[in-house]
Amino acid sequence: TVAMDEYLAGLVEELGKSIGPDTSPEGGSPRLSLRAEPMRVTTDQAVSLGVIVTELVTNAVKYAYAPGEGGEIRVVLETAAEGRAILTVEDDGPGLGDGTPKGTGLGAKIVSAMAGGLRSTVQFDADHPGVRAQLVFDL
């Protein structure tokens, strides 16, 4: 098994480095934040969750904030009722607009495939002002 909180801490740190330093006075790059409850998952689950987080964070970096515009991208992992957990990736950008995927749509297919491997789907919260993607999965 994998300590998912520790794995996500390393992953978010590496993703933050790839985004670039937040050095410009205008706000620079988006900031990544992580709040993860300690939990263990299988290796297969960890791989799927890691790919999902990477894709969702990458999309938020590309589409949520204009170049040079600061902002925050939050990754949250918490336990839920009945042996389940919830993974949330959210930003405060402009949202999904008309809901049509930007780019090739390959990222959405990858996320959908990884979520399917977890016997789940990624749901988007239409009431959130930016984009909030959530995945509920069995531990």
Distance separating alpha carbons of residues 42 and 27, to the nearest angstrom: 38
Average the pLDDT over 42-53 and give the result.
96
pLDDT tens digits for range 90-136: 998 888 776 655 667 888 899 999 999 999 999 988 888 889 999 99
Contacts of residue 74, defined as CB under 8 A and 6 or more positions apart, other chains included, come to 32, 33, 34, 35, 88, 89, 90, 91
pLDDT at 23: 47
Residue 18 corresponds to which amino acid?
A: S
Picking from 101, 17, 45, the residue whose alpha carbon sits closest to that of residue 133 is: 101
Mean pLDDT throughout 77-88? 95
Longest dimension (CA), the chain: 46
Query: What pTM was estimated for this model as a whole?
Result: 0.89
- 30, 117, 102, 98 alpha-carbon torsion, rounded to 10°: -100
Tokens of 15: 């993703």
